[in-house]
Amino acid sequence: MTSAELARPSRKQRVRTVWISDVHLGTRDCQAEHLSHFLKGYHADKVYLVGDIIDGWKLRGGMYWPQAHTNVIRRLLTMSKRGTEVIYVTGNHDEFLRRYSKLILGNIQLVDEAVHVTADGRHLLVIHGDQFDVITRYHRWLAFLGDSAYEFTLTLNRWLNHWRARYGYGYWSLSAYLKHKVKTAVSFISDFEEAIAHECVKRGLHGVVCGHIHHAEIRQVGGVDYLNCGDWVESCTALIEHWDGSIELYRLADAQAREAELKALKIAEPA
């Protein structure tokens, strides 16, 4: 496969923690193959699945579950069998799992939220984030309506990247680009970030790791660390904690660009 299709470390990298969210297994727009290759590239002590890993909303309307989606589940199970602690934090699209909260199966735990302590001593709330989205909490019909409009942009996104890949270009998210440009979306993201940061301050925590809004970010909000995993539908992002406690934002597009540069350098080297 070309770098425009898949990108992962050439050698398995040992890291302390990996966070991924909003995979939406069971939907056509899930980038399951990219995620499987990403997970194969890392050996982590802990993996947090920060909600909306399985899309229960979509599965109600009919089954869509290709082999690539099964491969993601198998990869996570393999990691847990090899000693990785897998913590599944429930979200709104997989809220059907909330009734089984606190279930422990071997190295896999199912929870509604968790507190992660980094190597440098920071206490981070790990939560999906739908609890801080007014539309999701109080206007579910609007959430479903918005979901339909969002799906349309994802369909355009899928076709666009199909043709980009055919011509050797890397992954690019149309829906993420539009989200950055539309003022109402920017305002919604800001309100969400401030609400969740306020909760951290109230609990006396150093920060939060969340998902939900499909907008990856690492920054300070309201005096606390705000870290959003992003998603594996449009932007293909994750958070990685290294052994010194520093947390890196992984972006598939950046990984592809680096891989393309390395290949170009190798080709340019004299024989």
148-201 pLDDT, tens digit per residue, is 555 656 666 666 666 567 766 666 565 565 555 544 445 667 888 999 999 999
d(CA 216, CA 221): 14
Tell me which of 266 and 184 has the higher pLDDT. Answer: 266
Q: What value, to the nearest 5°, has the Cα angle with vertex 86 and ends 81 and 90?
A: 140
Q: What is the mean pLDDT of the chain?
A: 84
Which has the closest alpha carbon to 29: 145, 149, 151? 151
Residue with token string 């109230």: 202
d(CA 23, CA 210): 13
The pLDDT tens digits of the residues spanning 97-121 come to: 999 998 998 889 999 999 999 999 9
pLDDT at 8 over 90: no
pLDDT at 48 over 90: yes
The packing angle between helices 67-81 and 32-40, to 10°, is 20
- Interstrand relation of 123-127 and 113-117 (parallel, antiparallel or unpaired): antiparallel
CA atoms within 13 A on the CB side of 40: 13
pLDDT of residue 1: 37
Rg (CA), the chain: 18
Tell me what the mean pLDDT of segment 50-66 comes to. 91
Tell me which of 45 and 266 has the higher pLDDT. Answer: 45
The pLDDT tens digits of the residues spanning 209-264 come to: 999 999 999 999 999 999 999 999 988 999 999 999 999 999 999 998 888 888 77
The pLDDT tens digits of the residues spanning 63-72 come to: 899 999 999 9
Read off the DSSP letter of residue 12: P
The pLDDT tens digits of the residues spanning 133-145 come to: 855 443 343 344 4
pLDDT of residue 264: 77
pLDDT of residue 57: 85
pLDDT of residue 153: 66
Q: Kindly list the structural domains of the chain, giving each domain's residue range(s) and its CATH number in brackets, ordered by start.
A: 13-265 (3.60.21.10)
User: Which of 4-13, 15-24, 92-101, 243-252 bottoms out in mean pLDDT, i.e. has the lowest?
Assistant: 4-13
pLDDT at 2 over 60: no
pLDDT at 22 over 60: yes
